[in-house]
Structures are given as structure tokens and as C-alpha cells.
């Protein structure tokens, strides 16, 4: 009977560790949660809390809220993830070689002006997130930085009052809003002329998998349980 209790206790502990740690690991990989620290002020696009269009130096958390076939929606939180400062449209951005560290790129501005957020790359991935600016800001950035800047002509608010929630109306607008680009000459071009879409394998699911992707793992757990039961039964028979 002592052997039986030991095996049962070990089995319970093994299953408990899976329940506690496995979902957290999957969630972080899916939403690409990343903590970043800015040494100076950074201008951000998207819908932001009033007064937070420029983030002061400090630590923030980046997370992906949702994913569509051709875009992602990125949210920026305070370091404790209690306040969402901004929700931003993003389009997949390619880099030649992935790194094992987070990479944030900026658009250089004239002296005295904050750098403007351009793209965010999660460790180990070739495809990152290039941020979409409001139309007026995109035009000004394209002219001052001599680069192409993504923008949306959709009538999406730039500032809102707290709180920004996952069901805020403007998030639904972002999921279907058109995206174009401004060139340094001031001309508007279609997104396809400046952005190459990633292959299907690089796309994220529309929601965090609940059952299908867990079936192989569940099957292994089932086999493990059956094996333990067989061992316990054999020990019990011998002891009798």
C-alpha cells in the first residue's frame, strides 16, 4: 500500500506541474509578451491614452492582442501590465536574420525630437511588427526621415480616455481598416508596393488554441497514466 501511495502522489505532482506551467509558456509564445526599457522619450502611433502619444523613458510591456490574416494588433502596457497606454495596428515586417534578443527599431528624428517607433521583432523570428501611423503623422515622418511610412486613412481616434479595453470599438475598426504607405516624396502608394506578405506558416492563429493543438500532449498524458496504473496493479498483485 505504501508503494501505491507513493506512485499516486508522484502522478498527481506531475500532472499538477503540467497544468501550472504549460499554459503560461504557450500564452507568452502566442502573444509575444516582451518587456522593453526606453532610455529616452519615444513617439508612438495608434490609439493612445490622452497625454501618452510620447512615452517617457521607462519600462513597458509589449503584447499582441489579436491577429488577422494580414495584420496584428499590438498593445503597450506599463511594466506591471495594469494600464494599457496604446493599441496599435501593425503589418508583418521582414528581417534577413533573426536574433535571440528583442529588437526595436526607430525612425530617426531631428535633434530635440523623440525617436518614432517603427518596428518590433520578437526573439527568434524573421517576421516582426511594423507599426501603422495616423495619416497626418505618417506624412510628416516620411518627409522628415526620408523613408516610407505606413498609415491608415480610416477615421480611427488617436486619443482616448482610460481605460483601453480589449472590446473597445476602435479595435474592431483596426481589424479591417485599409493600410497604405507614404513615400518621402509625399505620394501615397498601395501597401503591396512596399510590403511583402509573410508565408502562411508565419501567420499567427486568430485566437489562442484551446484543444486541437493540445491533443498530442493529452494523448501522452493518457499513456503515462495508463502505464502508472499498470505498474501499480502489478505491484499490488505481487504483494498479495
Kind and range of the H or E run holding 49: strand 47-49
Tell me the pLDDT tens digit for each residue of 13-66. 333 333 333 334 344 677 899 999 999 999 999 999 999 999 999 999 999 986
Q: What is the pLDDT of residue 25?
A: 38
Say if CB 52 and CB 78 are below 8 A apart: no
Q: With the C-alpha atoms ordered 12, 15, 21, 27, is the resulting torsion angle positive or negative?
A: negative
Q: Write the DSSP assignment of 86-121 as a string of letters.
A: EEEEEEEEE-SS--SS-EEEEE---TTSPEEEEEEE
Residue with cell 515586417: 93
The yes-or-no verdict on residue 208 having pLDDT over 90 is: no
What are the two backbone dihedrals, phi and then psi, of residue 90, each rounded to the nearest 5 degrees? -145, 150
Q: Map residue 73 onto helix, strand or coil.
A: strand
Which residues contact residue 72 at a Cβ distance below 8 angstroms, ignoring those fewer than 6 apart?
64, 66, 89, 90, 91, 92, 129, 204
217's grid cell: 500532449
Q: What is the pLDDT of residue 77?
A: 97
Say if CB 110 and CB 144 are below 8 A apart: yes
- Whether omega before 97 lies within 30 degrees of 0, making that bond cis, reads no
Q: Which residue has the higher pLDDT, 209 or 18?
A: 209
Q: What is the pLDDT of residue 188?
A: 94
Tell me the pLDDT tens digit for each residue of 92-106. 888 778 888 999 999
Q: Which residue has the higher pLDDT, 1 or 186?
A: 186
DSSP at 210: -
Q: What is the pLDDT of residue 59?
A: 97
Say if CB 63 and CB 32 are below 8 A apart: yes
Tell me the pLDDT tens digit for each residue of 122-141. 998 888 999 999 999 999 99
Say if CB 142 and CB 182 are below 8 A apart: yes
Q: What is the pLDDT of residue 120?
A: 94
Tell me the pLDDT tens digit for each residue of 146-201. 889 999 999 999 999 988 988 899 998 998 899 999 998 889 999 888 887 777 65
Q: What is the pLDDT of residue 8?
A: 44
Q: Map residue 157 onto helix, strand or coil.
A: coil
Q: What is the pLDDT of residue 201?
A: 56
Cα separation, 190 vs 101, whole angstroms: 32
111 falls in which pLDDT band (50, 70, 90)? confident
Q: What is the pLDDT of residue 70?
A: 57
Q: What percentage of the chain has pLDDT greater than the value 70?
A: 68
Q: What is the pLDDT of residue 109?
A: 82
Mean pLDDT of 70-93: 91
Residue with cell 501618452: 52
Which residues contact residue 149 at a Cβ distance below 8 angstroms, ignoring those fewer than 6 apart?
107, 133, 138, 139, 141, 142, 181, 182
Cα separation, 190 vs 169, whole angstroms: 26
Cα separation, 180 vs 135, whole angstroms: 9
Q: What is the pLDDT of residue 57?
A: 97
Q: Map residue 212 onto helix, strand or coil.
A: helix
Q: What percentage of the chain has pLDDT greater than the value 90?
A: 45
Q: What is the pLDDT of residue 196?
A: 76
Q: What is the pLDDT of residue 154?
A: 94
Say if CB 130 and CB 107 are below 8 A apart: no
Amino acid at each position: 500500500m505504501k508503494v501505491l501511495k507513493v506512485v499516486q502522489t508522484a502522478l498527481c505532482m506531475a500532472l499538477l506541474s503540467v497544468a501550472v506551467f504549460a499554459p503560461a509558456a504557450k500564452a507568452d509564445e502566442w502573444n509575444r509578451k516582451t518587456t522593453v526599457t526606453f532610455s529616452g522619450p519615444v513617439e508612438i502611433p495608434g490609439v493612445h491614452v490622452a497625454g501618452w502619444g510620447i512615452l517617457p523613458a521607462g519600462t513597458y510591456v509589449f503584447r499582441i492582442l489579436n491577429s488577422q490574416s494580414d495584420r496584428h494588433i499590438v498593445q503597450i502596457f506599463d511594466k506591471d501590465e495594469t494600464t494599457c497606454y496604446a493599441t496599435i495596428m501593425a503589418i508583418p515586417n521582414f528581417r534577413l536574420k533573426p536574433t535571440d534578443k528583442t529588437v526595436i527599431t526607430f525612425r530617426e528624428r531631428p535633434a530635440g525630437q523623440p525617436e518614432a517607433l517603427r518596428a518590433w521583432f520578437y526573439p527568434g523570428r524573421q517576421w516582426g511588427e511594423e507599426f501603422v501611423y495616423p495619416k497626418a503623422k505618417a506624412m510628416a515622418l516620411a518627409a522628415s526621415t526620408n523613408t516610407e511610412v505606413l498609415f491608415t486613412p480610416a477615421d480611427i481616434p488617436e486619443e482616448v480616455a482610460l481605460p483601453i479595453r480589449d472590446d473597445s470599438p476602435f479595435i474592431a475598426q483596426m481589424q479591417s481598416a485599409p493600410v497604405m504607405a507614404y513615400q518621402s516624396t509625399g505620394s501615397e502608394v498601395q501597401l503591396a508596393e512596399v510590403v511583402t506578405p509573410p508565408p502562411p506558416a508565419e501567420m499567427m492563429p486568430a485566437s489562442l488554441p484551446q484543444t486541437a493543438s493540445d491533443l498530442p500532449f493529452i494523448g501522452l498524458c493518457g499513456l503515462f497514466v495508463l502505464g502508472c496504473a499498470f505498474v501499480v496493479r502489478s505491484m499490488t498483485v505481487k504483494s498479495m
